[in-house]
Amino acid sequence: MPFILTFQLLYAASLSYSLGLSKLDKILIKEYFSKYICRKLNHRHNIVMKLRLFFLIIISALLMSGCCDKKEDVRILYWNIQNGMWADQGNNYDNFVAWINEQAPDICVWAEAESRYRTGTKTKMAGCEEAYFPYNWDLFARRYGHEYVVMVGKRDTFPQVITSKFPIRLVDRINGNGEDIIVVHGSGHAQVDVNGKTINFVTVHTYPFKYAYLAEDPQKSSEEQGGDIFRATEMKHICEESILKYDPEGKEMWMLVGDFNAIARTDNDIYKKADDDKCFMLHDYIDANTPFIDVMKTWYPDEFQHTTLSKRRIDFMYVTKPLYDVITNAETIRDGYATSTRDPELKFCYPSDHYPLVIDVRL
């Protein structure tokens, strides 16, 4: 009786793993095992045959499990595209689209995802009458095979947008507390459902200047590193309203991604700043208070992965351990279309002053 019970449990398990098989396959497997068992159980004293049957069932269950436990390879691309890819807007964004298709991303996070200046100039656009982005991201994303689009962070003219082949759900936009905290460019929390597995995205583009936002005396504020203090305050609020609110131990898959406009202490062998410099406050907060892992620094511990033409690393992908553990590739792209050059007169860059970041994960 114990042997029969063991068989029943294993047989049920094997069928549960055979969901990927056709109905006919399941019937044939069931009939085969039923006939086989009837023959073998008539010889109750034949221990060898029972053991062979036992191991046959285990192997069958394992094989079925392996066939149906399929992994999904997912590519995540982030890029600050400088003024809504100003560099290619006069070309109908054809070069930009061709490059995206070459990269074949499944999920994209775009910073500065809004058109701001007229082609070839520093003249501001009149608004929605002229600007292609952010109003047409849904049409644009279809040119590289993405059906889902969400504007995640939006407070001014520097929004962050996620496009994806998988469904996206906006959880929250994070713009401040309405009192003493302002997230100048806006931030947001969205979830992407990859075949039943959820990745939480928190997009950021922190305040860029040396002086604090709305400082009464910008010069004095710059000397006091008011901008660094302000950015750290933005980041603290963003984390408190996202991962620290929902998953402080980082048990789920999260990514904190964007243009942080701040350097990290872990790169100070390059920058040679004083240990008490306030420029490290933002990333120090993340390291001390969240479960996030710096992908590029962990993936390339002995290589400095600069993300801007000015050779700074201010664009980051932070992830929690469940997401980090499934990364199969991580890179900063600085060649091909992403090669950055500065216009000597306009001071804008072609195509951007930032470089794209890419990771591949297997879910």
Sign of CA dihedral 230, 231, 234, 239: negative
pLDDT for 332-352, tens place per residue?
999 999 999 999 999 999 999
For 270, other C-beta atoms within 10 Å of its C-beta total 13
pLDDT at 195 over 50: yes
CATH code of domain 73-362: 3.60.10.10
33: DSSP letter: H
Q: Give the mean pLDDT of 258-270.
A: 98
Spacing of C-alpha 101 from chain mean position: 18
Among 88, 84, 213, 203, CA closest to 154? 203
Distance CA 297, CA 316 (A): 9
pLDDT for 202-220, tens place per residue?
999 999 999 999 999 999 9
For the chain, what percent of residues have pLDDT higher than 90? 78
pLDDT band at residue 8, thresholds of 50, 70 and 90?
Answer: very low
Q: What integer pLDDT is reported at residue 185 of this predicted model? A: 98
The residue extents of the domains of the chain are 2-68, 73-362
pLDDT at 35 over 80: no
Q: What's this model's pTM, rounded to 2 decimal places? A: 0.83
pLDDT band at residue 61, thresholds of 50, 70 and 90?
Answer: low
Distance CA 32, CA 34 (A): 5
Asked if residue 253 lies in contact with residue 199, where contact means CB atoms within 8 angstroms, the answer is yes
Distance CA 294, CA 283 (A): 10
Q: What integer pLDDT is reported at residue 178 of this predicted model? A: 84
Q: What integer pLDDT is reported at residue 163 of this predicted model? A: 98
Q: Give the mean pLDDT of 88-112.
A: 98
Q: What integer pLDDT is reported at residue 127 of this predicted model? A: 80
User: Average pLDDT of the chain?
Assistant: 88
Query: Lowest-pLDDT range, 17-31, 160-174, 199-213?
Result: 17-31
Distance CA 103, CA 55 (A): 46
Distance CA 325, CA 223 (A): 42
112: DSSP letter: S
Q: Give the mean pLDDT of 171-198.
A: 96
What separation in angstroms does the CA of 166 have from each of 127, 195, 321?
Answer: 30, 8, 22
pLDDT at 67 over 80: no
Q: What integer pLDDT is reported at residue 262 of this predicted model? A: 98
Q: What integer pLDDT is reported at residue 51 of this predicted model? A: 58
Asked if residue 78 lies in contact with residue 257, where contact means CB atoms within 8 angstroms, the answer is yes
pLDDT band at residue 321, thresholds of 50, 70 and 90?
Answer: very high
